[in-house]
Structure 1
Amino acid sequence: MKQSLFTLEHARQLTADTYELVLSGDVSAITAPGQFVNVELPGRFLRRPISIANWTEDALLLIVRVVGEGTRELVRSVPGTELDTLSGLGNGFDLTDCPENPILIGGGVGAAPLFGLAGRMREVGVTPTVALGFRTAADAFYLEEFARLGCHLFIATEDGSLGTKGFVTDLVKASPACTAAFVCGPTPMLKAVHALPQLKSGQYSFEARMACGFGACVGCTIQTTGGPRRVCKDGPVFRKEEIVW
């Protein structure tokens, strides 16, 4: 974990409640896709944890969904704003033994860290299948960006306004060759994906309400086969066999 100042360089609205932010600063603490940052907002007691969508040698790409006044203030920040940021938090996805035919499964803003993950997979010669689920076509984002990476991209919307009508689990069932999953999204989606028998292995990134972001308050604990674990410190990524529902 490293505390430093990041400067907002760019902000772009992607959907009605989702924004792309680019922050420049010291990214040396970031080591894996799926890690997150914890951003301090002036006048707010708690920092806001945000998944890292991607990073370069001197900048972060964040995709932020507005869920309250704090995140609303963040996305309305003007370029040049300096943000006190804890970076390199969490463990991220492990690509040590990357499978040949992985499927990346994202629900809503859970698609964000999968973008950087897909890019790292492409760098090592792996072409992932990417299955993304949204409520409606209006909620979808970063489809062109995933496509430009050369991923096999499939979309599901609950109302059928884009791609397959249904849930992201329907896309997984339609891709029987994929047996290893990298997943990020709301807990009900993680649970539904975890139950699919075709997925023999996987890594699941949990979303949780965090107070400190580095394991001190134990407020984001989940149950695993190894006992209680903290999403912020021991996760947010856990392997399929560790998870207890």
Structure 2
Amino acid sequence: MEFMILSNQPIAKSVYKMVLAGDTRGIKAGQFVELALPGRFLRRPISVCDWTENTLTLIYKVVGVGTEDMTQMQEGVKLDVLTALGNGYDLDRAGDAPVLIGGGVGVPPMYGLARELCRRGIIPTILLGFNTIDEVFYEAQFLALGCTVYVATADGSYGTKGFVTDVLREENLTPSYYYTCGPLPMLRAVANATVCSGEASFEERMGCGFGACMGCTILTTQGHKRVCKDGPVFQKEEIEWQS
């Protein structure tokens, strides 16, 4: 589909928020989109942060030439977008006290999920992990939903010093279910630190984004599965958590 950029602004160190206008039918919390960038062969996969009937909010971090190109895109630019990719989170498993855990650019999909849970009358607890205070974003937006929010920074410059698993332990949180997105070491640590079941969204590098190239496979209890097509969300018990 064709989307038009409404805004594209920095919100933290090397982190940008892009709002697009277009058809968002079918999008669910935890899914992602693939953007075609001018002059670049491969599309860029970006997690969905939030959406309305006709707007799509994406938050991305500058990690290479493609995302660097994105920072220069101005209002009014039109992009070719593959939407509603992947399976998303299962909200029916949340229970009455879910915890949502986002690390770095794994934070954005937690916002759309939190908003959807709040619409159901389920107010989740939010754990956000960053390296340093300069990278912190969207704390205020989660608070505005009515959520309890904890922030951890690896260097201790803001919130709890350490990792999201330190917050779980220090605050003695006992979630009914957890949802998470972030780097693999964090996903593994969260799985090991929780007694309850949960779902993790993986951030594997993707070539095609719709299951053809097999470049984003991970090992599960049912064999290798594609993050783009079979995921990006997998249940905790599905994953072979290799060290």
* TM band (smaller chain): over 0.9
Q: Do the aligned residues in 2 keep the contact of 1:104 with 1:183 (CA within 8 Å)?
A: yes
The alignment status of 1:42 with 2:38, answered yes or no, reads yes
Q: Do the aligned residues in 2 keep the contact of 1:64 with 1:75 (CA within 8 Å)?
A: no
Following superposition, the deviation at residue 230 of structure 1 comes to 0.3
- Equivalent residue number for residue 198 of structure 2: 202
> Which residue, 91, 109, 114 being the options, matches 1:113?
109
Question: Which residue identity is paired with 1:227?
Answer: G
Q: TM-score, normalised by structure 2?
A: 0.97
| Deviant stretches of 4+, over 2 Å | 174-177
Aligned-partner Cα distance in 2 for 1:227–1:14: 39
Following superposition, the deviation at residue 179 of structure 1 comes to 4.1
Aligned-partner Cα distance in 2 for 1:75–1:87: 20
Q: Do the aligned residues in 2 keep the contact of 1:180 with 1:199 (CA within 8 Å)?
A: no
> Which residue, 24, 27, 37 being the options, matches 1:27?
24
> Which residue, 59, 82, 85 being the options, matches 1:86?
82
The alignment status of 1:178 with 2:175, answered yes or no, reads yes
**Number of paired residues?**
240
Question: Which residue identity is paired with 2:127?
Answer: A
After TM superposition, list the pairs within 5 Å mapping 1:1-245 onto structure 2. 4-30=1-27, 32-173=28-169, 174-196=171-193, 198-245=194-241
Q: Do the aligned residues in 2 keep the contact of 1:24 with 1:59 (CA within 8 Å)?
A: yes
Q: SS where residue 195 of structure 1 aligns?
A: helix
Aligned residues with identical type, % of pairs: 51
Q: In 2 relative to 1, CA 16–176 (structure 1 residues): closer, same or farther, beyond 3 Å?
A: closer
Aligned-partner Cα distance in 1 for 2:47–2:108: 7
Q: TM-score, normalised by structure 1?
A: 0.96
Q: Do the aligned residues in 1 keep the contact of 2:176 with 2:196 (CA within 8 Å)?
A: yes
Q: SS where residue 206 of structure 2 aligns?
A: coil
Following superposition, the deviation at residue 103 of structure 1 comes to 0.5
Aligned-partner Cα distance in 1 for 2:188–2:56: 30
Aligned-partner Cα distance in 2 for 1:95–1:199: 19
Q: Do the aligned residues in 1 keep the contact of 2:88 with 2:232 (CA within 8 Å)?
A: yes
Structure 2: gaps spanning 5 or more residues: none
Aligned-partner Cα distance in 2 for 1:35–1:93: 8
Question: Which residue identity is paired with 1:27?
Answer: T
Q: Do the aligned residues in 2 keep the contact of 1:10 with 1:22 (CA within 8 Å)?
A: yes
Q: SS where residue 93 of structure 2 aligns?
A: coil
Aligned-partner Cα distance in 2 for 1:79–1:147: 28
Following superposition, the deviation at residue 176 of structure 1 comes to 2.8
Q: Do the aligned residues in 2 keep the contact of 1:132 with 1:168 (CA within 8 Å)?
A: yes
Aligned-partner Cα distance in 1 for 2:126–2:240: 25
Q: Do the aligned residues in 1 keep the contact of 2:94 with 2:177 (CA within 8 Å)?
A: no
Following superposition, the deviation at residue 168 of structure 1 comes to 0.8
Question: Which residue identity is paired with 1:40?
Answer: A
Q: SS where residue 209 of structure 2 aligns?
A: coil
Aligned-partner Cα distance in 1 for 2:222–2:21: 38
Aligned-partner Cα distance in 2 for 1:164–1:98: 25
